[in-house]
Amino acid sequence: MKEAEAKSPVSFEVHVARLPQKGLPVVIEAAEPQRKALAAVHGLLSVEGYRAEMLVTAWKRNGVKISGRVVADITQSCVVTLEPVAAHIDEAVEGVFLPQDSKLARLDQDGEMLLDAEGPDSPEVFSGDTIDAGALAEELFGLAIDPYPRKPGAALDSSSLDGPEENEFQKKLRGLLGKV
């Protein structure tokens, strides 16, 4: 049995059966508790601002397309000095979703989806009558975060990398081995 996924701090479920013909605009402006939760989930010092603007539209026969942008201001720890580093995220949000029973999902005989490596991302499959547009925006926000933030001018002390210096244990070991 599959463990239930944790709900996104910026979750915004859209009922796909009730989409207007011109699409449904979705705007998510994260409040302070949501920003704190985003910081905790993504290992950040803080999220000062988070805004996602998307348009959810019908795609092909039963599919759904979500497109827009997520913009955020975050603070991370420098990987060298551990000092705070500010960063700005401005990422496109794009996703196509198909119902589980859709023939457009193109499954082969083994139940695996066929992918074109050169083509666009394949549609994601959903079940039920809702899609979490906020979770998609958060996923792309997370992918845009620099995994190794570095404060400008921060550098590792290269003198310790030039050659191995003997520590006390190594000196004692060398002394003991020399007596054998």
What's the average pLDDT block by block, 10 residues per block, for the chain (180 residues)?
Answer: 68 90 95 96 96 94 92 94 94 90 57 55 81 95 93 69 60 67
d(CA 9, CA 31): 10
Please tell me the predicted confidence (pLDDT) of residue 120: 57
Q: State residue 166 phi and psi, 5-degree precision.
A: -75, 130
pTM: 0.74
Q: Which whole-number Å values give the CA distances from 102 to 57, 59, 107, 127, 131, in the listed order?
A: 17, 12, 10, 11, 15
What is the model's pLDDT at position 112?
59
**Per-residue model confidence (pLDDT) at position 94:** 94
